[in-house]
Amino acid sequence: MRKFIGVITVMALAAAFAGCSDEPSVTLPGQIIKEISAAEAYAMVQQNAGKADFIILDVRTPSEYTGGHLAGALLIDFNSGSFRTEVDKLDKSKRYLVYCRTSNRSGQAVAVMKELGFKEVYDMDGGIVAWEAAGYPTVK
């Protein structure tokens, strides 16, 4: 009986701590923060082409951006030292698709945007590397 109670206790503790991380997971009411695939990002870009409330945000360096980027993407370099200040100036009520090279910087950028209260932010998993591997277009 003691073993059974011990096993149940361990299982309950494991369940209680599952999913714990250093990063806050709380979103504001109505806030959408989501990681999406390159295919989902491509569909989103197609569906929102020309819409003023949809912003593609490239968080790579200027030299990476000039080497090829998604058409219409706004550049705010995550490593610039002023990223938080610059992104905080953006309209938080718009829908954002965020990407970088492989999704490391974009993941961090999205965390900042979440913290700043952006309403709807999508992080493209795999970044521009995944986008190009799927054969989707970029501009220079």
What local confidence, expressed as pLDDT, does residue 125 receive? 98
What local confidence, expressed as pLDDT, does residue 99 receive? 98
Residue ranges of domains in the chain: 23-133
CATH architecture, range 23-133:
3-Layer(aba) Sandwich (3.40)
Q: How far is CA 15 from the centre of its chain?
A: 27
* Residues 64, 86: Cα–Cα separation, whole Å: 19
| Mean pLDDT of the 106-127 span | 98
> Judging by beta carbons within 10 Å of its beta carbon (0-12, 13-18, 19+), is residue 37 exposed, middle or buried?
middle
Instruction: Note the pTM of the prediction, 2 decimals.
Output: 0.81
| Mean pLDDT of the 89-115 span | 98
Residue 87 confidence (pLDDT) above 70: yes
* Residues 88, 50: Cα–Cα separation, whole Å: 23
* Residues 84, 63: Cα–Cα separation, whole Å: 20
What local confidence, expressed as pLDDT, does residue 23 receive? 43
Higher-pLDDT residue of 95 and 13 is: 95
Which stretches of the chain are assigned E, i.e. beta strand?
32-36, 54-58, 74-75, 95-99, 120-124
Higher-pLDDT residue of 9 and 1 is: 1
* Residues 121, 91: Cα–Cα separation, whole Å: 12
The DSSP element (H or E) to which 112 belongs, if any, is helix 104-115
pLDDT digits (tens, 9 = 90+) for 42-85: 999 999 999 999 999 999 999 999 999 999 999 999 999 999 99
* Residues 1, 87: Cα–Cα separation, whole Å: 57
| CA atoms 95, 74, 105, 131: torsion sign | positive
Q: What integer best gives the mean pLDDT of the chain? A: 87
Q: What percent of the chain has pLDDT over 70?
A: 81
